[in-house]
Structure 1
Amino acid sequence: MTDNNLLKRTFDEVALLYNEIRPRYPDRLFLTLIEEAGLQPGSTLLEIGPGTGQATRPLAVNGFKITAVELGAGLADVARYELQEFKNVQIITGAFEEVILPESSFDLVFAATAFHWLDPAVRFVKIHSLLKTGGQLAIIHTHHTSDEQGNVFFNASQAIYDKYDFTDKDKKPEFAKHKDLQPTELDENLFRLKYFESFPVVITYTATQFVKLLNTYSNHLAAPQAVQQAFYKDMEALINDQFQGKVDKYFSMSLTIGEKI
């Protein structure tokens, strides 16, 4: 099994591609976050794992003071370029678990499709210490969900995933239904659940675009180059030959907000 610490560093290898092809979060998610968290102009935010700044920008435009901690130097450089117009955003390169930040100084700590990479022994405790009294934690996850119409492409592609050993042999792969998604589990000694909602997104990808998307996932990037290229070639051929050159991908972006106890 590939080490989790190595996997979470693979995104830095494809920073520009990540910025180009990863699905964006819906505007309504950020409007909901701002309202439910009670953010005001001048609120202090800490973002963990901003990547290329895809979740940073929708909050930066509101004038919040944002400190973002990004593990990957390449991703951080792209984020600085993408967000250069915002003087209210500071990007720090480093591991969240190791970066020294002022305690009790943030109104909100948030992570978009990054929280699961943090050390479970550290993440809640450190975030709790960084938040002001009554501060909040927002966790955004990207879920691959069922199209609830038979998942024809998903089922047709499983043989290719199996061929290149990208499936868990002990667990049958399946997608959750949007309506069945649940809040991210919080440390109940440190946070109380305040709000949860999930936001469905459907994106149509050409065969070429879908292969680009696959090339941003950590388990694929960790495979040998020859395996990656053969896998991508087979997936592109499947989409072109059996799905008229394009597929619809169903996502749900979930928002869990916890309040510091």
Structure 2
Amino acid sequence: MSELFGEVANSYDEARPGYPPAIAEAIGGYHGGAPGRLVEVGAGTGRATEVLLGLDAPMTCVEPDARMAARLAARFPRVEVVVAAFEEWTPPPGGVPALACAMAWHWLDPATRNRRAYEALAPGGTLAVFGHRYAYVNPAHAAALRAAFESVDPATQRDRPEDWFHADIADSGLFTDVRVVPFRRAVPLDTAAYQRLVSTFSPQLRRPPELRARVLAAVGAAVDGFGGTVVLDLRTALVLARRPA
């Protein structure tokens, strides 16, 4: 499943919203400056990489899908790109000063992801995990879009709790000084842009082509019914944690 998104590698950057530049500032402030090296796990095509480069640290990006990794390498030639699953990647001896993961923590093996992150970090190193929650400014729009999805595919995936990866990391007992930094933005999308975004979501990519088309038609009709624009209430959570020294 970690290689699901390669199918949409060429449209992913355009469709997915980026991250606030303040994320890099928050990581740097927590770490105490720019880390000597930053490793990003599940980097995809680099939506988070472009923000993490604001730390001005040498970067290694670990991405299991070769199609996503190729686009990432083309966009950021000064970044080292390793095509591998996190579970197969071997960190350097002594670990790395900082490890980041954006919108990919749930794709890592839940039985081992915290332990692997801990072991990949140098003592005192920083773990930074962040991701978006796609909500809607207008509750009526949220209800209409939910109904549109479910009218075509009643098996539509339910969202995880908003703070699930904060709890996951804290409950592992491996890290200290676990904290969450929230960001929130309103992001307007027209009908076509919203359909492009939906086309990059994993539930949509799992559907057969005919069902995908019906889902896009249903959500497109819903957004058209709002006047052709839906405004995302884009909530981004950054979880910071430290491997004990």
TM-score norm. by structure 1 comes to: 0.85
Gaps of 5+ in 2: none
Q: Distance in 2 between matches of 1:51 and 1:99?
A: 15
Task: Say if 1:95 and 1:174 are closer, same or farther in 2 by CA, change over 3 A.
Answer: closer
User: Which among 114, 122, 125 is matched to residue 112 of structure 2?
Assistant: 122
Q: Which residue of 1 aligns with 2:28?
A: 34
Q: Distance in 1 between matches of 2:202 and 2:156?
A: 14
Alignment of 1:1-261 (within 5 A): 6=1, 8-40=2-34, 43-84=36-77, 86=78, 89-145=79-135, 147=137, 149=138, 151-165=139-153, 167=155, 183-186=166-169, 187-240=171-224, 242-261=225-244
Kindly indicate whether the alpha-carbon contact (under 8 Å) linking 1:161 and 1:167 is maintained by their aligned counterparts in 2: no
SS at match of 2:99: strand
Deviation of 1:159 (Å): 2.4
Task: Say if 1:43 and 1:174 are closer, same or farther in 2 by CA, change over 3 A.
Answer: closer
Kindly indicate whether the alpha-carbon contact (under 8 Å) linking 2:149 and 2:218 is maintained by their aligned counterparts in 1: no
Please list the CA deviations of residues 147-205 of structure 1 after superposition, one character each: whole Å capped at 9, or x if unmatched: 3x5x1111112222112225459x6x7996xxx89834315431123331110021111
Task: Say if 1:64 and 1:33 are closer, same or farther in 2 by CA, change over 3 A.
Answer: same
Q: Distance in 2 between matches of 1:101 and 1:174?
A: 30
Gaps of 5+ in 1: 1-5
Please list the CA deviations of residues 213-233 of structure 1 after superposition, one character each: whole Å capped at 9, or x if unmatched: 000001111101000011101
Q: Distance in 2 between matches of 1:34 and 1:155?
A: 38
Kindly indicate whether the alpha-carbon contact (under 8 Å) linking 1:181 and 1:198 is maintained by their aligned counterparts in 2: no
SS at match of 1:190: coil
Please list the CA deviations of residues 233-257 of structure 1 after superposition, one character each: whole Å capped at 9, or x if unmatched: 12112211x2111110111110111
Deviates more, 1:106-115 or 1:61-70: 61-70
State the Cα RMSD in Å.
2.2
Q: Distance in 2 between matches of 1:138 and 1:222?
A: 28
Task: Say if 1:175 and 1:158 are closer, same or farther in 2 by CA, change over 3 A.
Answer: farther
Q: Distance in 2 between matches of 1:72 and 1:204?
A: 30
Kindly indicate whether the alpha-carbon contact (under 8 Å) linking 1:44 and 1:66 is maintained by their aligned counterparts in 2: yes
Kindly indicate whether the alpha-carbon contact (under 8 Å) linking 2:152 and 2:218 is maintained by their aligned counterparts in 1: no
SS at match of 1:128: helix
Matched-pair identity in % = 26
Please list the CA deviations of residues 82-116 of structure 1 after superposition, one character each: whole Å capped at 9, or x if unmatched: 112x2xx2010111101222242311111011111
Task: Say if 1:64 and 1:74 are closer, same or farther in 2 by CA, change over 3 A.
Answer: same
Q: What number of residue pairs does the alignment pair up?
A: 243
Q: Distance in 1 between matches of 2:32 and 2:151?
A: 49
Deviation of 1:67 (Å): 1.0
Higher helix share: 2
Q: Distance in 2 between matches of 1:60 and 1:69?
A: 15
Q: Given residue 63 of structure 1, which amino acid in structure 2 is its aligned partner?
A: D
SS at match of 2:28: helix
Q: Distance in 2 between matches of 1:143 and 1:193?
A: 23
Kindly indicate whether the alpha-carbon contact (under 8 Å) linking 1:166 and 1:220 is maintained by their aligned counterparts in 2: no
TM-score norm. by structure 2 comes to: 0.91
